[in-house]
Structure 1
Amino acid sequence: MPPIPTLPPMDPEAARQALSDLGAQAVECVLGDFTSVARGKRVHRDDFLALGGCRLPSVVLGLTLTGGEPEPVFGPMLPRQYSDLTLQPDLATLAPRPGRPAEASVLCEPGGRWWSEHHAREVDASELCPRSALRRVLARFEAEGLTARVAPELEFFLLQRDEAGGRITLDSARAHPGAMARESACEAYSLERASHFDAYFDALYAACATMGIPLSGHAHEAALSQFEVNFHPGPPLAQADAVHRFKRLAREIAAQHGFLASFAPKPFLDQPGTGMHWHFSVQRHDAAWPHLFAEPDGADSAELGHFVAGLQDQAPAAMAFLAPHDMAYDRITRSDASPSHASWGGEDRSLAFRIPTSGPASRRIENRLPGGDANPYLTVAVTLGLGLAGLQAAKAPLPTCNERHALARSLPDALNALDASSTLRDLLGAPLIDLYVAIKRHEQAERAALDDPRQHWDLRHLIELA
């Protein structure tokens, strides 16, 4: 496995000046976990400058979605004594925290080393970090003389949740606590229904502008109380950062308006699910024609097919990242335009890897497999890393209907495929794969032990934390 490119140490004077420019007296140090929940600590600026970030117990790397601490993780993989980590900030991500005039927020990666019984060697905390994993993949791209641009599309639901007699029910959101109007049937692409939530989206756009999140628009989607936001194209790491931050902002601002914003993959079994679609283009460095996926005359290049072949080859294992919870397989098995095979082709939204109609300079591949619950860093890392492996192998993609590329139909199947994938172990590192699989197996077993897992696990936990 190639070494992880480390973040440069924080320059105290540069950090001091940046905080002064923002008028920040406190800094929120943010670490994204496998679910992309924002974990971390708020510290005074003087402590932030003195420590070069902040400290956090190592337990944070091994928590499940419900706050569990799996036995196969603590001791074998992570320190039993919960020793401290350093949260090392990436100052390029320092931004004002919306609605908090004297507070800044910065994305961090963990630092620290310990002996891993499971791997019989010292492990660095950065080996277990989704953001670090994406930076490792991007370093491979750079080494091949390639760069990428990506553009995400996120779907999410605006919901009201009621709980009575131990049962949870979901309904469409009211635009504010006193509002009478509620969507009773799907009003797909309705500008009128979307306008009921103008105050929410105005606040969301303003918060995104404050944090540099490049939204380009939104619309009511094709399910009850479902909306989609689009992003301008940009560099992969910055876009993954933006999606990580956006999901948190969408949830926080919804709570302020009296409803829930949920990225859960299939809240309603009779409605389409929630996708997180990503468009990828690849460019060559220092080339007269830099666009890898098309020829100057507009024809698809051979490299486009090679990239798709790499995605197809490991799609069953990649599903553990792209569909990371049991509810996500309701989205796959109850299709509603969600792909069930690693299919590819042109203008067909039921395909896994769609090639949108475009000019040669904007030819791209849309990965339609990820659900709203997928981690953005791991999604981008897996897509680019497997695509690069396909470019290096130079294989042709298989036909759309080929049964060899049926997707995993359950989370246990996907985790087994991931555990056995030497390609993804090489790409992301064995420590990350082993920790991820252990956490997800614990969550899956916890859910499976319940009498009504959809009620008492999915709707109780995943609706708010996906």
Structure 2
Amino acid sequence: MEEIGHLDGRARAALGARAAEAARRLAGQGIEAVALTWVDVGGITRTKTVPIGRLEHAAAWGVGMSPVFDAYLVDDSIAPGRHVGGPVGDLRLHPDLDRLVPLAALPGWAHAPAFRYAQDGTAHPLDTRALLHREMARLAGGGWSVRAAFEIEWAVSDGEGDGFSPACHGPAYGMTRVSELSGYLRDLLAALRATGVSVDQLHPEYAAGQYEVSVAAEDPLGAADTAVLVRESIRAVSMEHGLAASFSPKVEADSVGNGMHVHLSLWRDGKVNMMTGGDGPHGLSPAGESFAAGILERLPALLAVCAPSVASYLRLVPSHWAGAFACWGLENREAALRLVTGADGERATAANLEVKCIDGAANPYLALAAVLAAGRAGIAAEAALPDPVTVDPASIDADERAARGIAALPSSLGASVAAFEADAVLRDALGEVVADTVATVRRGEIALLDGASPEEVAATVRWRH
């Protein structure tokens, strides 16, 4: 896989020609506008729209946008840093035509995630889609590829104003919740199917008003794109039904939050799944074990991009299936890393690693890029996993946990940022501009919510993600 290259005249002409053909096709389907989206460092999806007749120009020459948005905080205030955050500068949004699709949840609209370029045609240093693409290329250089999929959890409210009123009240995981909102869920599944999203399953979750949808695995860039597409489809269908959807890591202070767990499998030459069929623990191959060990080693630092909000640490608590301890285990939903083998007979394709400590405030491109970099470092170091944990780690005596090297993950955003800044591997993989901006935005949110009660934190972030 090649890295995102420079946009020269020939590349621009080719993009324009492809976009012109796509625009003619979409116009014939009644599409009037294309939403070009990207996700900022704070995890919020931002957009600019072009009429269908301007898609050709947008593909060739881009759409202007200030770089300042990567310094936006959860309340849309700005945390200026060394590399971004002021009024000066511009970048260009170029639609990724390979991911251009009609947005069935918003009739008349299409969606295309954007690559962000500088005006000279080089990739913008804060483009997290390009960053993820680069990490995929680095793995490919060693003969590795990854299949990935995000699980999307959300909570649905039928109340007015900024409060949260659960739109369904049946038991956790109960069929009652499907019956309560069957029309809504049916329309959501129909919209996702019409948009080209392959849904594996949908079910009620634990908290009041909470659901989860799981989708098919694909390459990491596609998985992150799909996560954005699924969330925006959920948001649109919810509004059509008079409901509001929240993906916040903590919708209510006294309830469980929304995760955005990611499932990963490492493949050799795109043909052999390294998460099974080996002589390592529970069938892991040596490379699969090292990939998992690299992620496990860097979990405290990874939280700065995987659990990136002050609200994340209201969710990331023991005995809530959030993965609050840096450990791994076979089908252990309290471990931060859960090895999923799949059923007998399907393991060659189904075995994967679930990272549980990612939540709905994360930028999926940035989170995946960092996780892949950690796994790649593990492969390079031939890292080994510690013994698996077979129980809830919170149930183990603190002295025994210490003896076994089972550490609690950071309990605050500040502690995660400190671990992130001290991790040379992640900083090198992400680049100085991204690493510095991540730290700046996280410290900005810490300052913004300093002294706020859990209830105030939950209320501040509830409708932002």
Alignment of 1:6-155 (within 5 A): 9=12, 11-23=15-27, 24-51=31-58, 52=60, 53-71=62-80, 73=81, 76-78=82-84, 80-98=86-104, 100-112=106-118, 126-155=124-153
Which residue pairs with 1:372 in the alignment? 360
Deviation per residue, 1:330-363 (Å, 9 max, x gap):
1123541222221111122111111123354132
1:102 CA displacement: 4.2
Q: Which moved more, 1:392-401 or 1:274-283?
A: 392-401
1:13 CA displacement: 1.6
Distance 1:244 1:99 in 2: 13
Deviation per residue, 1:240-287 (Å, 9 max, x gap):
100012112212221222222111122234433322122111111176
Is the aligned partner of 1:385 residue 2:373? yes
Q: Count the aligned residue pairs.
A: 435
Whether the 8 Å CA contact 1:322–1:369 is kept in 2: the answer is: yes
Q: Which moved more, 1:197-206 or 1:269-278?
A: 269-278
What TM-score do you get using the length of structure 2 for normalisation?
0.86
Which residue pairs with 2:157 in the alignment? 159
1:301 CA displacement: 1.8
Q: Which moved more, 1:189-198 or 1:430-439?
A: 189-198
Which residue pairs with 2:321 in the alignment? 337
**Residues 190 and 306 (structure 1), Cα distance of their counterparts in 2 relative to 1, 3 Å cut:** same
Alignment of 1:203-242 (within 5 A): 203-242=187-226
1:161 CA displacement: 4.7
Which residue pairs with 2:462 in the alignment? 463
Alignment of 1:397-416 (within 5 A): 397-399=385-387, 400=389, 401=401, 402-403=404-405, 405-416=407-418
- SS of the aligned residue for 2:165 comes to strand
Match for residue 277 of structure 2 among 281, 295, 301 = 295
What TM-score do you get using the length of structure 1 for normalisation?
0.86
Whether the 8 Å CA contact 2:33–2:51 is kept in 1: the answer is: yes
Is the aligned partner of 1:193 residue 2:177? yes
Distance 1:330 1:282 in 2: 31
Deviation per residue, 1:419-442 (Å, 9 max, x gap):
221111111111011111111211
**Residues 365 and 328 (structure 1), Cα distance of their counterparts in 2 relative to 1, 3 Å cut:** same
Q: Which moved more, 1:17-26 or 1:434-443?
A: 17-26
Whether the 8 Å CA contact 2:295–2:374 is kept in 1: the answer is: yes
1:302 CA displacement: 2.3
Which residue pairs with 1:396 in the alignment? 384
1:50 CA displacement: 2.6
1:141 CA displacement: 1.1
**Residues 247 and 6 (structure 1), Cα distance of their counterparts in 2 relative to 1, 3 Å cut:** farther
Q: What letter matches 1:170 in structure 2? A: F
Whether the 8 Å CA contact 1:296–1:360 is kept in 2: the answer is: no
Alignment of 1:239-250 (within 5 A): 239-250=223-234
1:99 CA displacement: 5.2
- SS of the aligned residue for 2:164 comes to strand
**Residues 62 and 93 (structure 1), Cα distance of their counterparts in 2 relative to 1, 3 Å cut:** same
Distance 2:317 2:354 in 1: 20
Alignment of 1:443-458 (within 5 A): 443-448=445-450, 452-458=452-458
1:133 CA displacement: 1.4
Q: Which moved more, 1:123-132 or 1:420-429?
A: 123-132
**Residues 26 and 154 (structure 1), Cα distance of their counterparts in 2 relative to 1, 3 Å cut:** closer
Q: What letter matches 1:384 in structure 2? A: L
Distance 2:255 2:84 in 1: 40
Q: What letter matches 1:282 in structure 2? A: L
1:453 CA displacement: 4.4
1:229 CA displacement: 0.8
1:4 CA displacement: 5.5
Q: What letter matches 1:425 in structure 2? A: R
Distance 2:441 2:270 in 1: 43
Which residue pairs with 2:425 in the alignment? 423
Whether the 8 Å CA contact 2:3–2:137 is kept in 1: the answer is: no
Deviation per residue, 1:221-242 (Å, 9 max, x gap):
1222211111112221111100
**Residues 202 and 3 (structure 1), Cα distance of their counterparts in 2 relative to 1, 3 Å cut:** closer
Distance 1:263 1:50 in 2: 34
Deviation per residue, 1:285-332 (Å, 9 max, x gap):
176xx2222226883322232122101221111011111111111112
Distance 1:338 1:101 in 2: 36
Pairwise CA RMSD: 2.6
Distance 1:391 1:309 in 2: 8
**Residues 6 and 424 (structure 1), Cα distance of their counterparts in 2 relative to 1, 3 Å cut:** farther
Deviation per residue, 1:140-176 (Å, 9 max, x gap):
111011111112222211124556xxxx643311xxx
Q: Which moved more, 1:45-54 or 1:302-311?
A: 45-54
Match for residue 249 of structure 2 among 242, 256, 265 = 265
- SS of the aligned residue for 1:355 comes to strand
Q: What letter matches 1:20 in structure 2? A: R
Which residue pairs with 1:117 in the alignment? none
Deviation per residue, 1:35-74 (Å, 9 max, x gap):
4433222223343323423212222232222111223x2x
**Residues 384 and 58 (structure 1), Cα distance of their counterparts in 2 relative to 1, 3 Å cut:** closer
Distance 1:384 1:46 in 2: 38
